[in-house]
Amino acid sequence: MSAGVAELGGESAAVLRARGLGRKYDGFIALGSFSLELEPGELVALVGPNGAGKTTFLTLAAGLLEPTSGTIEVGGSVAGTVAARAALSYLPDTPVFYEDLSLEEHLGYVAALHGVEDPQPRIDELLRRLEMRDWSEALPSEFSHGMRQKASIAIALVRPFAVLLADEPFDGLDPPGRAALFELLGESRADGAAIVVSTHRPDVIAAASRCLALRDGRLAYDGTPDSVEIRDFFAAAASEPDED
């Protein structure tokens, strides 16, 4: 198993479980009550129009938001606990950095926090594959939008994880960056990680083993991405007003 995937005891055990999960804001349902399980090695495309609840679900799973109903666990531990955070890596839609640390310092710091021994080979590999070697000593303030996205990807993948949550990770990447990310996600999946990618890209959806579709904060579809149901979902979503 590679350094990028955490071991959780049993290969067949679900690595993420949600039971009656929901989130409300002053009576507004951002995410309705639903349940799901993710197994090791799944590549899940999370789809839906803006405001459907995709980012709410991801932040709940990452432990950055408290549910108002139900539960969610990562690796058998409640989301947001130390054990759950150790098992999960989160790639947000808006990258967050320490502005006084270089890219390589970010990678070394995150690797050390998660107990990676001798992280330099992995750091060098990620910088090479994401075409960021010339920027290893640069500060985040020097990065373009696409470079910030690549740096955030490297930070998410430099540490062990059993679950990776990625919110629109392909946005802002150039074609070589998208190709590199596809390869890196495939390798993590082959090593046993469950990966959830919020996306609107047809190529990412087609590559997924499973598709979760959200509409109005509720789970509207859970199945294969090439079914009639998911095509109908996209057709219906396209005909609705796009609201944030």
Q: Which domains does the chain have, with CATH numbers?
A: 39-52+92-238 (3.40.50.300)
**Residues of the chain with pLDDT > 90: what percent?**
80
- Kindly report, residue by residue over 90-145, the tens digit of the pLDDT: 999 999 999 999 999 999 999 999 999 999 999 999 999 999 999 999 999 999 99
pLDDT in tens, 183-226: 999 999 999 999 999 999 999 999 999 999 999 999 999 999 87
What pLDDT score was predicted for residue 51?
87
CA-based nearest residue to 73, from 138, 8, 140, 24: 8
Q: What is the mean pLDDT of the chain?
A: 90
pLDDT for res 124: 98
Confidence at residue 235, expressed as pLDDT on a 0 to 100 scale: 65
Mean pLDDT for 42-51 is: 94
* Separation CA 20–CA 156 (nearest Å): 28
- The backbone torsions φ and ψ at residue 2, rounded to the nearest 5 degrees and listed phi first, read -75, 170
Percent of the chain at pLDDT above 70? 88
**Confidence (pLDDT) at 236:** 65
Indicate whether 87 pLDDT > 70: yes
Q: How far apart are the C-alpha atoms of 180 and 150, rounded to whole Å?
A: 10
Q: What is the mean pLDDT of residues 31-41?
A: 93
Sign of the alpha-carbon dihedral angle for 148, 107, 58, 27: negative
CA–CA separation, 160 vs 75, rounded Å? 13
Burial readout 137-160 (b: 16 or more C-beta within 10 A, e: otherwise)? eebbeebeeebbbbbbbbbbbbbb
CA 98 to chain CA mean position, Å: 20
Please report the pLDDT score of residue 244 as a whole number. 38
pLDDT at 107 (0 to 100) = 98
Residue 61 Rama label (left phi>0; alpha psi -120 to 50; beta): alpha
Mean pLDDT of 226-240: 66
